[in-house]
Amino acid sequence: MTRTYKIIVFSGDGVGKEVVPETVKILKSARDVVTGFNLEFTEFPCGGKHYLETGKEWPDEAWDACKNSDAILFGAIGWPGAVKSGGVLAGVDILLGLRFGLDLYANLRPAKLFEGIESRVLDKSSKDVDFVVVRENTEGLYAPIRGALNRGGIEELAVDVRVITRKGAERIIRYAFNLCMRRGGAPRDGKRRVSCVDKSNVLDGCRLFRKIYDEIAKGYEEIERDYVYVDAMTQWMIRAPEHYDVVVTSNFQGDIISDLSAVLIGGMGVAPSANIGEKYGMFEPVHGSAPDIAGQQKANPIGSILSGKMMLEWLALKHSDKACKRAAQRIEEAVSKVLIEGNIRTPDLCYGKYAGLSPSKTQEVGDAILRKIEK
């Protein structure tokens, strides 16, 4: 029986409106070429611009649609001037609301350098960089436990509480170990390795996180244990990315090191991500709405397209759906072929030996990937 997956689409603001349509185009093409599964897309407006036009961040029915979906595809939110009372960027509550409301506790940010992209870090090639940052997504420093003290009109104090719970740490660390079992090991030595990134020499929350890491690691004898302090990690990722396979860490620390990992693979334009819980999954490029290049067809759609590929991989795993898995592989191969051929690329990838190329438009990159899928 052909299974139909209900996909909710939010292009959102800025470049989201350019990269998400390319992603939907690619997903439809992979679905039609591979066959054996179906994708049904429903799009809702949302974000800062929508807030300026309507006074709402998204339509009332969008939340229920998300709760009845099989997966959510997200673009980006944030638009200059679109700010709610209290100074909060309009649209941010959607993203955080989905992450917390749907309990999307695992934020996966793969750092895989494709052949055909030069690393912005010297002397590293596609053979050196292929790891995944598994970032806790529902607690840590982004748990909404914060406040400010205003005395006599003077902003005197602000507090953000960093929350690490046993439940939160256990499930993210277990997720990382299970993911590691499905991968082929670190580029340097082929060893399966889960690196625990923390600041346990200073912070109690990190000490609890590391203790739970040790408890869970006992159940995975074939996986090597590895410990790194987060400050040291920023240099090891650059100096020896080939050592890393799966990296697990708490929310704020993961936010920072995963942005750094995007530099290793060619920049924000090509970095995908997934937000995964027990029941729901939301897939989005790492980049934001990029108002500086929005509306000009300069945005690289590959980060978003690879997020769509991650969506298919997740659906395949969740529903044991081989057709979905084949479609995901087909998308990855198509992206890889376009990058290796090299002549069609957006401005962000026209550096190094590609510096003299005339840059392609967002849509042209999408079309080139589409042609490879259909071949």
Report the interface residues with ligand ATP, using CB under 6 A: 15, 19, 78, 268-269, 287-290, 292-293, 299-300, 303, 346, 348
CB 169 within 8 A of CB 158: no
Q: Is 160 in the active site?
A: no
Residue number closest to ligand ATP, CB atom: 288
Q: Is 214 in the active site?
A: no
Angle between helix 322-341 and 16-34 (nearest 10): 120
CA distance 301 to 268: 10
Nearer to ligand ATP, 168 or 266 (CB): 266
Q: Is 142 in the active site?
A: yes
**Paired strand residues for 43:** 9
Q: Is 84 in the active site?
A: no
CA distances to 2, 83, 90, 200 from 310, in Å: 20, 31, 27, 32
Phi, psi of 331 (to 5 degrees): -65, -45
How near is the Cβ of 299 to ligand ATP at its closest, in Å?
Answer: 4
Nearer to ligand ATP, 19 or 134 (CB): 19
Nearer to ligand ATP, 120 or 174 (CB): 120
Pairing mode of beta strands 281-285, 106-112: unpaired
Structure tokens at 291: 């108002």
Nearer to ligand ATP, 284 or 313 (CB): 284
Q: Which residue in this structure is represented by tokens 């595809």?
A: 73
User: Active-site residue among 189, 204, 214, 231?
Assistant: 231
Structure tokens at 60: 């009332």
Nearer to ligand ATP, 220 or 354 (CB): 354
Q: Is 38 helix (H, G, I), strand (E, B) or coil?
A: strand
Structure tokens at 170: 């256990």
User: Active-site residue among 70, 245, 255, 321?
Assistant: 255
How near is the Cβ of 242 to ligand ATP at its closest, in Å?
Answer: 26
CA distance 337 to 342: 8
How near is the Cβ of 290 to ligand ATP at its closest, in Å?
Answer: 4
CB 374 within 8 A of CB 29: yes
How near is the Cβ of 272 to ligand ATP at its closest, in Å?
Answer: 11
Q: Is 321 in the active site?
A: no
Q: Number of helices (H) and strands (E) in the chain: give both, helices first.
A: 11, 12
CA distance 4 to 14: 30
How near is the Cβ of 79 to ligand ATP at its closest, in Å?
Answer: 10
In the chain, the amino acid numbered 147 is G
User: Active-site residue among 51, 105, 142, 213?
Assistant: 142
How near is the Cβ of 348 to ligand ATP at its closest, in Å?
Answer: 4
User: Active-site residue among 93, 103, 160, 259?
Assistant: 259
Nearer to ligand ATP, 267 or 281 (CB): 267
Catalytic residue positions? 142, 199, 231, 255, 259
